[in-house]
Amino acid sequence: MGGPRFEPVRAVRAYERVVEQIEEAIESGALSPGERLPSERELMVQLAVGRSTVREALRVLQARGLVRSRPGDPHGAEVLPFSPAALHKSMTTLARVEQLSLGELVQFRMVLDSAAILLAARLRTEEQLAEMNKAVEAMRAAAGTEPGAADTEAFGRADVAFHDAVVAASGNKLIQICTDVVRQIVLRQISARIDAADDRQALMRRSIQHHEEVIEAIRAGDGPLAARLSRRAMYDYYAPYVKESETSALRALLE
Amino acid sequence: MGGPRFEPVRAVRAYERVVEQIEEAIESGALSPGERLPSERELMVQLAVGRSTVREALRVLQARGLVRSRPGDPHGAEVLPFSPAALHKSMTTLARVEQLSLGELVQFRMVLDSAAILLAARLRTEEQLAEMNKAVEAMRAAAGTEPGAADTEAFGRADVAFHDAVVAASGNKLIQICTDVVRQIVLRQISARIDAADDRQALMRRSIQHHEEVIEAIRAGDGPLAARLSRRAMYDYYAPYVKESETSALRALLE
DNA sequence: TCCGATTTGTGCGTATGTATA
DNA sequence: CTATACATACGCACAAATCGG
């Protein structure tokens, strides 16, 4: 015991070395978004590997969202600004193969969103508070006053804008990206059912009221209250779509 | 307005179609972990594409952690059980290119971990509570009684076991995976500094005491208290490594 | 134990369509 | 509009690795 612990030597493929080199260059900042990689033939020469090896490496980097290459582009592959697309992809895969339930996803959002709101109540600036108010204003406009005049799509966009303003105020980019990713996954699962609801406009009005209450708590600096309100609002909004057996786990977050 | 909405036709590459087909087969469950894909040459025939195309597709699937192929394996690529490796990879990339600070990462863990503990206090079984106790027992053993007899590695493993038991009791796999991924990223950033601390054993003792308090609160079913204690414990443990300017955002989570 | 069939890893040449100067 | 350079895709060849008999 305590002797040297040997690990099996994994045969590292040529294309992996290529991936590592380019990845390191990008993540270290030696290559910035917008800059171009050498052409495939040039890389082939510089790295002393075959064309297929270069191409397989570029595919992997493309799958990770780090570069993009287009046919005929004389400048070579383009280094992309970071996008959570790869994160989104792996979470979506996770949701499918691990059979993540809607309840788990909503629970995750309740946790992260309310945390963001708790932080936002402490750290927000006046400008950010104005952003939130503007978003709720847009929600009101989208919900309309005449029956049947609701613009579901605009309402959704305004809702996203509100949450973006909140997570921006929270100052935590990781929370921002994760809530965004999970929100999209949840919406993909139930957007059809939401669109089909015949009391959409009533749902919107309730949602707007909840948002107004949350904003008021944020304005007053009462983070715990704002967080509690937001969890309640999300529960009310999503619980109808969650399996009966899972709602108790959601309610556990409501105190 | 309201006319047919045309979308730009994205030139979809051959290898992408291949990726989509195989991905769909795996995520839908038509192919289960352990099963094999046809060999590259067989796929080439079935899909009516060249071998390079098949290979590029397999690389992408491999990068996403869905399959693994080894040279010479006569059975073709193996379908893998889900692993959060791809998620881990994209979060690590995120942390590097977006320059996620240690403060943000720790804050994220405080949020998710305390949520898991809040849920665990409500939902845990006696077996899971016993698991947690066992883990803390292992932490005590690793910390040792004699000065200088601490086994840092064993302590870390026991700590992980504790948190695994907690998130398992919370019943939310998404929280489990995310906390696990972020924990590894945080550790990678500061493990050297933790190892170098000359008061390691004292830190371990405090950590053990915190864990005992959390377990007691979980046993008593007081979720909010357990969550508060865990946030405090994590703050105490990691705050020394977080930049001065960021600790206030962390303290915002302590009430 | 060894050997041979099969497969993957890799390199290279070619044809084709495309984007840019 | 043309020329050039490029990515895409195909197919073959060879080496190395794996597995079954």
A12 in B contact zone (CB under 8 Å): no
Q: Which of A68, A93, A243 to mutate against chain B (most B CBs within 10 Å)? A: A93
The answer to whether A13 CB is within 7 Å of strand C is: yes
Alpha carbon of A89: minimum distance to chain B alpha carbons (Å): 9
In whole angstroms, give the CA distance from residue A185 to residue A105. Answer: 8
- CB B182, CB B105: distance < 8 Å: yes
Residue carrying the six token digits 């192929």: B69
Mean pLDDT of A191-209: 87
DSSP B124: -
Is B73 at the interface with chain A, CB within 8 A? no
Query: In A83-198, which ranges are continuous DSSP H helix?
Result: 85-97, 102-123, 126-143, 152-170, 173-196
At A255, is the pLDDT very low, low, confident or very high (cuts 50, 70, 90)?
Answer: confident
pLDDT single digits (tens) B174-218: 999 999 999 999 999 998 888 888 788 888 999 999 999 999 999
Q: In the numeric block, which tokens belong to residue B196?
A: 């170098």
Specify the pLDDT at position B7: 53
Residue pLDDT, tens place only, B120-173: 999 999 999 999 999 999 999 998 888 777 888 899 999 999 999 999 999 999
CA-to-CA separations, A36 to A31, A43, A49, A58, A68, in angstroms, rounded: 8, 12, 20, 13, 10
Radius of gyration of chain A (CA): 23
pLDDT single digits (tens) B44-68: 999 999 999 999 999 999 999 999 9
Residue A73 has pLDDT above 90, yes or no: no
- Mean pLDDT, chain A, whole residue set: 91
Element containing residue A35 per DSSP (H, E): none
Q: Is the pLDDT of residue A2 over 50?
A: no
Residue B4 has pLDDT above 70, yes or no: no
Q: What is the pLDDT at residue B232?
A: 95
Q: Which of B194, B185, B192 is nearest to B105 (CA)?
A: B185
A188 Cβ contact list (under 8 Å, min separation 6): none
* pLDDT of B34 strictly over 60: yes
| ∠ Cα B208 B214 B218 (to 5°) | 140
Cβ atoms A181, A91 nearer than 8 A:
yes
Tell me the backbone φ, ψ of residue B202, rounded to 5 degrees: -65, -40
B9-14 long-range contacts (CB < 8 A, ≥24 apart) are: B11/A71, B14/B49, B14/B53
Name the residue closest to D5, CA to C1'. A74
**B-chain residues within 8 Å CB-CB of A177?**
94
Give the pLDDT score at B225: 96
Closest residue, chain B, to A255 (C-alpha): B224
Q: Which two tokens stand for residue A189?
A: 């699962």
The bases of strand D with some atom under 7 A from any protein CB are 4-13, 15-20
Q: Nearest to residue A153, comparing CAs of A194, A211, A214?
A: A194
> Looking at the predicted structure, is the pLDDT value of residue A148 above 80?
no
Residues A242, A244, A246, A250, CA torsion sign = positive
Question: Mean pLDDT throughout B28-52?
Answer: 92
pLDDT of residue B192: 87
Quick one: average pLDDT of A141-164? 89
**Chain A contact set for B87 (CB, 8 A):** 87, 90-91, 94
Is the Cβ atom of A48 within 7 Å of strand C at any atom?
yes
> Where does the pLDDT of residue B8 fall: very low under 50, low under 70, confident under 90, or very high at 90 and above?
low
The two beta strands, B67-68 and B78-79, are: antiparallel
Q: What is the pLDDT of residue A7?
A: 55
The pLDDT score that the predictor gives to residue A1 is: 46
d(CA B166, CA B158): 12
Q: Kindly state the DSSP code that residue A81 receives in the 8-state scheme.
A: P
Residue A31's nearest CA partner among A70, A73, A82 is: A82
Chain B CB contacts of A112 below 8 Å: 111-112
- The gap between A163 CA and C18 C1' (Å) is 42
Q: What long-range pairs does A222-226 form, CB within 8 A, spacing at least 24?
A: A222/A121, A223/A117, A223/A118, A223/A119, A223/A120, A223/A121, A223/A122, A223/B252, A224/A118, A224/B255, A226/A117, A226/A118, A226/A120, A226/A121
Q: What is the largest CA-CA distance in chain A?
A: 77
Chain center to CA of A135:
19
Give the closest of B27, B56, B182 to A56, CB-based: B56
pTM, full prediction: 0.90
The confidence score (pLDDT) of residue B102 equals 94
Task: Tell me if A93 and B224 make a contact (CB, 8 A cut-off).
Answer: no
**Residue B235 contacts residue B246 (beta carbons within 8 Å):** no
Distance from residue A77's CA to nucleotide D6's C1', rounded to whole Å:
10
**Is residue B84 scored above 80 in pLDDT?**
yes
A8 — pLDDT class (breaks 50, 70, 90): low
Hey, how many other C-beta atoms are within 10 angstroms of the C-beta on B12? 9
> A140 pLDDT exceeds 80?
yes
